[in-house]
């Protein structure tokens, strides 16, 4: 299963779990129902704006679309950034706020 399939599968599961038809989800997300049907059946690619609107309507945080490997990588990156900033590195805003 590729990542696009995982995203579509999780959105479809959330839709069904909420008892929402594709037409209703499309209306709430301002996506043409026919287009959404094709997207959820993997006949058309999902655009980023559609993904974000679907997440909002379904109450899904984008983090629920991370695989375990992605979550581990993101956690490692966050830890490295925190360590760098903890050693006294400043970003452009921090430097600009000093008198």
Kindly report, residue by residue over 57-93, the tens digit of the pLDDT.
Answer: 999 988 888 788 888 888 888 888 888 776 654 554 4
Assigned domain for 7 exists: yes
Summarize the confidence of residues 37-61 as an average pLDDT.
92
Q: Tell me, what CATH number does 46's domain have?
A: 1.10.260.40
**Domain annotation covers residue 49:** yes
Task: Kindly state whether residue 87 falls inside one of the protein's structural domains.
Answer: no
Q: How many structural domains are present in the chain? A: 1
pTM of the model: 0.69
Q: Angle formed by the axes of helices 48-58 and 22-29, to 10°? A: 110
47 domain-assigned: yes
Residue-number span of the structural domain to which 38 is assigned: 3-61
> Within a domain: residue 57?
yes
Question: Do the domain assignments include residue 76?
Answer: no
């Amino acid at each position: 299963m590729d990542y696009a399939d995982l995203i579509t599968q999780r959105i479809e599961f959330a839709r069904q779990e909420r008892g929402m038809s594709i037409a209703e989800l499309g209306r709430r997300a301002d996506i043409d129902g026919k287009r959404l049907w094709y997207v959820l059946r993997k006949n058309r690619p999902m655009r980023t704006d559609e993904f974000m609107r679907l997440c909002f309507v379904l109450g899904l945080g984008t983090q629920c679309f991370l695989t375990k490997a992605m979550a581990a990588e993101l956690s490692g990156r966050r830890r490295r950034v925190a360590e760098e900033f903890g050693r006294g590195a400043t970003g452009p805003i921090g430097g600009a706020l000093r008198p």
